[in-house]
Chain A
Amino acid sequence: MIFFSVKAERSVRSWLTGFFFAPVSDSWLTILRVGLALQVIAYGMSLRLDWNALFAGFDRGLVSRQLSEAIITHGNLLIPRVSWLVDIGAHLGLGESLVLNLMWSALLAGGFFLLVGLAARAAAILVWFLHLCAVQSGSLLSYGMDDFMTIGLFYLMLSSLPDRWAVDHRWRPPGEAALFRQCFLKRVLQLHLCLIYFFSGIAKAIGPDWWTGESLWRALTQPSFNQIPVGFLAYGKALLPLAGIGVVVLELGYPVVIWIRRARSLWLTAVCVMHVMIGLTMGMYLFAFIMIVLNLAAFARGWPAQRTRMADNKQPAFVS
């Protein structure tokens, strides 16, 4: 009995070690870095005209930055916020408006550095911090996309940059230990996505409206989201229940099917198509893009060229 339990413990431990710490291709990191860089640049550009109004203080902003910060932090002094930067700027004799402009410029510059992979680790930390400040100080105006950007940037910041396609890699390749950390972070990202879709699916499945297509109808006809003429939607009403059920099945099935090697590509493609449709039909382009980036980083196959090169170096087989 003891022999069997020791054997079982060993096999579980060996499986967990293999699952979390086997060397993996760094292609997922390339996808995450480039995808998030494009996302950060698009995020910055999409808010340029209102940046100062969004994060200005009392009497100068759309709604006050301090009000957002008070609501989100409720007394917690550790959560990063724009006011930290404005206060530092004030000590240096810089006005609020100049600090906000510098913040926007640094965010965009960080995005470009990430894109080419120059000082990639520092750029990832900078962009994560600045974006986090913006999200916390603009919490009254934030939406789901901001959370997913924070999640992606958090993983990117912790990852073992640079990946092999980054400019940095030429003169500062990551050590062997980094390869094992990559696998761990990729696994955590994969499990995180599984939880996201599972709970999103559960929350939809417990209501009646996603099964009848009514929720999809309401989502697509909301005045703030509707990109498709309502008459056209009503014409295709027979498809709404199918599409609604499809969304629930895709999300609930994700944590199981995505691990089945043969079905993974199909499920991943279907989920990406779902996000493309959300982007096109509801105008939530940045939300769609970040979800596709996270999915591809977590579950897309590595580049064939990298597999060959790693195999030449006699690295252990890939786990994806």
Chain B
Amino acid sequence: MTLIGLVSCRDVFIAIGEGDTSLPGGASSWAKQVETSVGFLVGGRKTSASLVRQGVETYLNVSGIESGYGFFAPHVPNGYKMVLELHYNDGRVEYEEPHGDAIGTGIRMTSLMDVIGRSQSDEVRAGIIRLLVHSVWSQHEGLENIHVLFGTVRFPSLRDYESGAKYSFQVLNTYTVDAEATPR
């Protein structure tokens, strides 16, 4: 119970620390300090130095309590989207979004896009995108290269929607993967 409480607290403090709340500005820096301390206790610093810490991390993972419960909170963030521009040897261009065949994969791709979008590391982001592109590449014959557009999907607020605004796609990163760069 203590671990569940600590992990949940950490998530709330992260949210306050990011400053997207109605709380006063001073709360943000205070929350960051508390989150660091709580994160240390529950292995949030991504280090598995000692056996005790590994034990705690393992218990958190096997019991399903390693993450908090702040779904869609304190606000609902923008979504992320990836568009693949498939350039064929014969000059054709097709557009596709990464997807699976199973009914349960759709929502998981949304999670994957969030992971890519929230990644602080350009290398990690590029690495995951390259792996995804490779899986798409293997399903198409005669490709010359794939141009990847990755960005945020912004849906207008209710007020903006009523004044005619539509959803927009803002490109954050572009990548081009050709046959030589694709792992075989």
A in complex with B: yes
Q: Which residues of A contact B (CB under 8 A)?
A: 43, 46-51, 53-54, 58-59, 61-64, 67, 72, 74-80, 132, 136, 138, 140-144, 146-151, 153-154, 188, 191-192, 195-200, 202-204, 206-210, 213-215, 217-219, 221-225, 230, 234, 237, 240, 283-284, 286
Chain A residues with CB below 8 A from B102, complex form: 46-51
Chain B residues with CB below 8 A from A77, complex form: 54
A63 to B103, CA, bound (A): 18
B74 close to A199 (CB less than 8 A): no
Which chain B residue shows the least CB distance to A139?
B115
B111 close to A78 (CB less than 8 A): no
Q: Tally the A-B contacts, defined by beta carbons under 8 Å.
A: 204
B64 close to A136 (CB less than 8 A): no
A206 close to B57 (CB less than 8 A): no
A144 close to B63 (CB less than 8 A): no
On chain B, the number of residues with a Cβ less than 8 Å from chain A's Cβ atoms is 68
Is B12 interfacial (CB-CB < 8 Å)? yes
* A150-B64, A283-B107 given; A206·B21 CB < 8 A: yes
Within 8 A of A (CB), among B63-90: 63-76, 79, 81
**Other A-B pairs, 6, CB within 8 Å; known A49-B103, A50-B104, A58-B183:** A49-B102, A76-B58, A200-B73, A214-B75, A214-B157, A223-B167
Which chain B residue shows the least CB distance to A77?
B54
A150 to B54, CA, bound (A): 19
* A62-B100, A218-B155 given; A207·B22 CB < 8 A: yes
- How far does the Cβ of A239 sit from chain B's closest Cβ, in whole Å? 12
Chain B residues with CB below 8 A from A203, complex form: 11-12, 15, 68-70, 73-74
